[in-house]
Structure 1
Amino acid sequence: MNPFHPLSFARSVTRLADLPPALREVAIGGRSNAGKSSLLNALAQRRRLAYVSKTPGRTREINFYRCGEGRFIVDLPGYGYARVPQAMRQTWGELVSAYLRTRASLAGVVLLMDARHPLMPLDWQLLHWLQESGKPVHAVLTKADKLSRQQALRTLAATRQALDREAPGVSLQLFSSLTRQGADELVERLAYWLEIKNAPG
């Protein structure tokens, strides 16, 4: 049984004062083109839960998706998209930083990276910041279907080596929203963090 099939949009937030009360939640972050919306749709096994835009940087709020009583998956604004005005990028950064720093119900952060371009400078910046905050991190290499199996395994090994050296404790996996590679592994990780019973595994 997929515990995230009932996933539903709850609210968008642009101010910390508007955050919903929660027991536990997991945040999903990454560059603007890392595939956050596609991953959310794959988790829920529905095509239109989250809007997949061809224009990166469309998510400009913190979006909450309910996955049970008091439990949320949280879609953070993407970072690193140059066409967004600097003032707006700064506002997003301040909002996300404050959220990650102060949200008591935040059980962990999933960092999405395109498997073809992992560990870009902004990814490292977020990883190091999260390590200082003490929040557990699970790194996901998305769009694995764009690589051959051999390329994907090489990328996974190289990324694992770099994380072990610079960000020990960060877990890592491959994922494809198209083929659902790694979907079960990700569901188990999220269900564990959210303390959802009757999860697979």
Structure 2
Amino acid sequence: MPTGVHIRDARRQLFDAAERVLLRDGPSALTSRSVTTEADCAKGVLHRHFADFDEFLAELVQERITRVGDQAAALRAAAGTGTVQGNLAAALTDVLDPTALAMVSLVFFRDEVRTRLRGAGVPVLAEAREMLAAYLVEERALGRIAADADVDNVALSLIGAGHLLFAGRRGGPPPAEEVDQLVATVIADVVQRRLL
């Protein structure tokens, strides 16, 4: 991009470019040069907006975590509607999309990014677990799952098993039937059978 040409939203352009590189080539290919080349801008643009490349990557992951927060609000609003199993299966499919899974790989690949994010657990997956647990609390209050359900462990099991089911797939998520079966298996002991 020629010098002096204004980029409307440089941060968004850089984040979108980084996601494309990450999805296409993996975390090892994610460099400041690959991102700015993909964004079709000068390398200096990235350094005008971020102190260093690790800060850029940490903010990229943080943006995904913010999206999980938005998904969490929508899922909590769905409590009492549809079925618990259907809501959880849809939430897993949404939250474990290819970009989110790539972000998890990035966090494992780049120690400095993980250090900067300083959360409990694996960033993105930890927030996804919190999202599911908050939803399950709502459903428990509505009587759609057992009053003694350990929602934290159910959510942890859903995220752990879901991550294994979704990770490493090329060309999209697993078939809906596989996701439904996983959810049904994990929640079998806590959901009220008539409302499954």
Q: Same fold (TM over 0.5)?
A: no
TM-score by length of 2: 0.26
Counting strand residues as a fraction of each chain, which structure ranks higher? 1
Q: Which structure has the highest helix share of the two? A: 2
- Max Rg structure: 2
TM-score (norm 1): 0.25
